[in-house]
Structure 1
Amino acid sequence: MSITRVLGFLAMLIGFAHCFSWDIVVAGNKQLNFYSNGMHTHTEEIAAATKIASITYDPIGYRLLFINENHLNTTMSIYDLTTGKIQTVYKVKSTVTELEVIAYEPVTQLLFIKNGSNIYSFSLNSASAKIAKYGNLVVKSDNYVRDIAVDSCGGYIYWITDRNIEKARFDGSQREVIIDSTVIFRRSLAVDQQTQKMYWIDCKLEKSVYYMSIESADLNGNNRKRLHISVNLASSIAVSKDFIYWQDNSNEGIWQLPNLECSRTSTKKIRYASWHKLLALSTCSC
């Protein structure tokens, strides 16, 4: 199998101090592969990584935060894109993964971590901050949480289950269901703060046929649209200012669709590889 058993997928954040030559980065076991408009630009090695299970981005500190899994423990580490240095801030000595999905909010320096049906928050006020076990409980859901996303501009954490899409303030207050429709399963959630849209993947069954659909809606759940339909299942979605990206499990590739809110726009496959998990980043240009 290729080294790009990819477990992380980031959409570019816009409106911060750094200028980027890429709009997504795909994380392999020990590599970060950067792409711009579907073209590979460069690769950076993370020698200390074994299996990256989730990854998020700090645009102010210009660093990647990722979960690394192996058969002995699970760690949460920070990779400085300027210096190439890695700092581990949390470690679980267990074969059972306790850290599953992470999303970073750069303004408050809060790191949100999904564990099963719960979402916790940790403060990363400095590069040397140590994470206490589990942190602060923000959300306790009755349903298994599939993915989380952060809206820095609005000040909300979003999460997705097979039944609902919900949001709440960073402290868990003002909780609200914004999409209420049960499907076979849902995977991944992306928030685009430029357009005030959210995107996700639904798997449905109609007339004895399973199909995958790329869905979108306003951040309050209104103006829901179906952007793309395929019989090939997808596992994750990410959004940049120009494109919507998703992983196609059946064809083992990443596809891009122009971010035009139009289901008739053609898709394009940008890379062939075998991926495991892709996660979107939030975008803030408020």
Structure 2
Amino acid sequence: MPLCGSQNDKGLVIGLWNPSQFYTFTEIPENSTSSFQYSTHPLQSSSAKIKSLASDPKKAVVFAFIDNSIYMYNNFSIWQNRSKSISLLYKGISLTYGKIAFDYVSNNIYWCDPLLQWIAMKPAYNLNNTFYKIILRKDLNYPEGLALDPVDRLMFFSDNGPHPRIEKAFLDGQDREVIVFVGLVRVTSLSVDVSNEKLYWTDTGKHTLECSNYDGSSRRVIRLVNYVPYTDLIYYQVKTTS
């Protein structure tokens, strides 16, 4: 039986460049004056680019999109910022900055490929590189941001083509709907609050953090954000069973 970490194994995992490394906060700072503990985990290649992160809280796994591949860091410990083993899950994504997302209900990993103009998925624990499925391809120009609500079986994604927009669809790609299309420049990251059915996104062209309901209503700017050199951030917590 694989070790899945302790119940208190939780915190923030951030992907950094120059040099490439995981940067973890084992305690979440409440404000700018709070003390905090952190650790670093350098990648073997300091020039590698960590582009996106996702996690499986049930199996203590962190998924990382690095360069043109998705890697699986097994038995990841946020306290020691290490992994007992690393597996190559998929290789062949364009050298762009599309995001990955994990469906913790069906154990599937999804990713955007902006140059190939598709969104694809595969079973997260099947290492066969040829075993994947293209979920969305029609009328996509440059898909980048991606977030999933596995409970309601929904995906949210940004298309940063000539007319930037955020769309919603079921996880199988059906019933697509444009929910935000006004006042966007380049939405690179999306996240969802499943409990409250809220969608959050960062627009790097406008330097804004924004949110709306799942249907795009009640949209508001939360704050202006300046550029910082991290590429993605996830909240990581191992869930143990008795």
* TM bucket normalised to smaller: 0.7 to 0.9
Instruction: Give TM-score scaled by structure 2 length.
Output: 0.74
Deviation string 1:158-177 (CA, Å, 9 cap, x unpaired) is 10134221111111112111
Determine if the alignment matches structure 1 residue 27 to structure 2 residue 28: no
Q: Structure 1 residue 143: deviation in Å?
A: 3.0
DSSP-derived class of the 2:202 partner: strand
Q: Structure 1 residue 182: deviation in Å?
A: 4.4
Provide closer, same or farther for how the CA distance between residues 199 and 157 of structure 1 changes in structure 2, counting only shifts above 3 A.
Answer: same
- Percent of residue pairs identical: 20
Deviation string 1:205-234 (CA, Å, 9 cap, x unpaired) is xxxxxx5322111122222122113xxxx5
Partner Cα distance (2:204, 2:127) in 1: 39
Match of 1:185?
Answer: 186
Provide closer, same or farther for how the CA distance between residues 87 and 48 of structure 1 changes in structure 2, counting only shifts above 3 A.
Answer: farther
Match of 2:69?
Answer: 75
Provide closer, same or farther for how the CA distance between residues 157 and 278 of structure 1 changes in structure 2, counting only shifts above 3 A.
Answer: same
Letter aligned with residue 277 of structure 1: T
Instruction: Give TM-score scaled by structure 1 length.
Output: 0.64
Determine if the alignment matches structure 1 residue 138 to structure 2 residue 135: yes
Partner Cα distance (1:107, 1:56) in 2: 14
User: Which of 210, 214, 218 is residue 219 of structure 1 equivalent to?
Assistant: 214
Q: Structure 1 residue 154: deviation in Å?
A: 1.2
Match of 1:7?
Answer: none
Partner Cα distance (2:107, 2:141) in 1: 27
Q: Give the 5 Å matches for 1:183-262.
A: 183-202=184-203, 211-229=206-224, 234=225, 248-249=226-227, 252=228
User: Which of 58, 65, 81 is residue 63 of structure 2 equivalent to?
Assistant: 65
Match of 1:256?
Answer: none
Unaligned stretches of 5+ residues in structure 2? 30-35, 78-82
Letter aligned with residue 135 of structure 2: V
Partner Cα distance (1:99, 1:201) in 2: 14
User: Which of 221, 228, 231 is residue 277 of structure 1 equivalent to?
Assistant: 231
Deviation string 1:237-262 (CA, Å, 9 cap, x unpaired) is xxxxxxxxxxx31xx3xxxxxxxxxx
Do the aligned partners of 1:164 and 1:182 also contact (CA within 8 Å) in 2? Answer: no
Determine if the alignment matches structure 1 residue 37 to structure 2 residue 35: no
DSSP-derived class of the 1:23 partner: strand
User: Which of 53, 56, 74 is residue 55 of structure 1 equivalent to?
Assistant: 53
Do the aligned partners of 2:210 and 2:219 also contact (CA within 8 Å) in 1? Answer: yes
Number of matched pairs? 213
Letter aligned with residue 58 of structure 1: D
Deviation string 1:47-100 (CA, Å, 9 cap, x unpaired) is 47733222211111111111222xxxx3321101155211112234x9x52784
Match of 2:118?
Answer: 118
Letter aligned with residue 146 of structure 1: E
CA RMSD in angstroms comes to 3.1
DSSP-derived class of the 1:227 partner: strand
Do the aligned partners of 1:215 and 1:224 also contact (CA within 8 Å) in 2? Answer: yes
Return structure 1 stretches of 4+ with deviation > 6 angstroms.
Answer: none
Q: Structure 1 residue 279: deviation in Å?
A: 4.8
